[in-house]
Amino acid sequence: MASLDYDFEKNHFREFYSDNLKILDDAKTSFCALINALVSHSGDIAISKIEGRVKDKEECLGKFNLKYRKELEANETEYEIKDHISDLIGLRVVCLYEDDIEKIKAVLDQHFSVIDVTDKIALMEKTEGSFGYKGLHLDLKLGDDRIEMPEYKAFVDFNFEIQIRTIVQDSWSVLDHKIKYKKKIPNKLKRRINTLAALFELADREFLAIRTETELEIQKAEDDDTDEVLDSNVAGPQKLISSNGNGLLTAFGLLKIANHFFSDFDAEAHKVDGFTDEIVSLEPDITRTKLNTYMKEGIAKVKRYKADFEANGNSKDTLNPYTMIRHCLYYGDKDVFSSVLTNASKEKFEKWLGENDG
């Protein structure tokens, strides 16, 4: 029952909190799992973490006193404290890039009813002389399509707040809360905090710019096929490398060539990057054209070796695309690329070459 008696409402809220703590915690866990599933299946959104918590009851009372009580009592508006704690259940989604924030919001818009939106990114960008963490806060409740589902029926009366931030914004939030005095402080100290906040903003922009530029470089390598080369394993000329093929080998160049020769190439970025670095460390002046030459001159023989290797009871130790590229490099220049194969692999390959030369 709503009233203007704070002591009564405070005790009533504490009773409500204690009586419902278990179900609140279950709702938090369920909402986290649901959002994780929805975002994970939505496409190319990279998530660092999704976590939740049930707000401490005394913290809730403190927030109500600070933000709502004075105005409600001044206007003689009766209240129940729980109705004003929108983040009793709080979730946080931490993503990698700034443009993922709107993508996540779009997913949530499709599956939940949006009660309120607080765009701290826009608020901060409109304010010149202040600092603080950015992020998008949404107050949500289950959408109509899930209210009737048995697994969610116990939670239909609970709204929740979700904060969407990048890793950088989340890191700044943690630090921002550790700065004890931020309002009435000397200007020189305030400027230093503003500078630090600006560095975090710059980091967010640079991470996004690097990702975008990387995607453009990969696409450029895919689109750039003006040089005509001959794949010795396929009859006829094949379009493969670009007019920039004489440039030094990069991860993008290796990715282009590997994808051409192997339809099942595992293009995990850290593997491509590390393997390219290994090749360049052995032949610092290697170009895309040179790598392609090693591949087209050796791939037919290496594929024959792979077939014999696996036919002779080695199927558990199959040659993956990376290993086949290693064999092509070794076959192309045994002195330079001696270390790309283990001694055992070299012995087996050399024995096979001796028996199948020509």
Selected residue with higher pLDDT from 149 and 238? 149
pLDDT value at position 128? 52
β-pairing verdict for 228-229 and 238-239: antiparallel
Rounded Cα gap, residues 345 and 330, in angstroms: 11
Q: Which of 127, 118, 134, 126 is nearest to 204 (CA)?
A: 134
Write the pLDDT tens digit of every residue in 189-208: 888 888 888 888 889 889 98
State pTM to two decimals.
Answer: 0.70
Confidence of residue 227 (pLDDT cuts 50, 70, 90): very low
Q: Compute CA distances 301 → 24, 314, 319, whole Å.
A: 64, 18, 13
Write the pLDDT tens digit of every residue in 141-192: 998 889 889 999 899 989 999 999 999 988 888 888 787 777 777 888 888 8
pLDDT value at position 238? 46
pLDDT value at position 174? 84
Contact between 322 and 271 (Cβ < 8 Å): yes
Write the pLDDT tens digit of every residue in 289-343: 999 999 999 999 999 999 988 887 655 667 899 999 999 999 999 999 999 999 9
Confidence of residue 139 (pLDDT cuts 50, 70, 90): very high
Give the gyration radius of the chain's Cα atoms. Answer: 30
Write the pLDDT tens digit of every residue in 91-126: 999 999 999 999 999 999 999 999 999 876 655 555
| pLDDT (mean) for 14-36 | 95
pLDDT value at position 231? 45
pLDDT value at position 314? 55
The residues with which 123 forms a beta bridge, in sequence order, are none
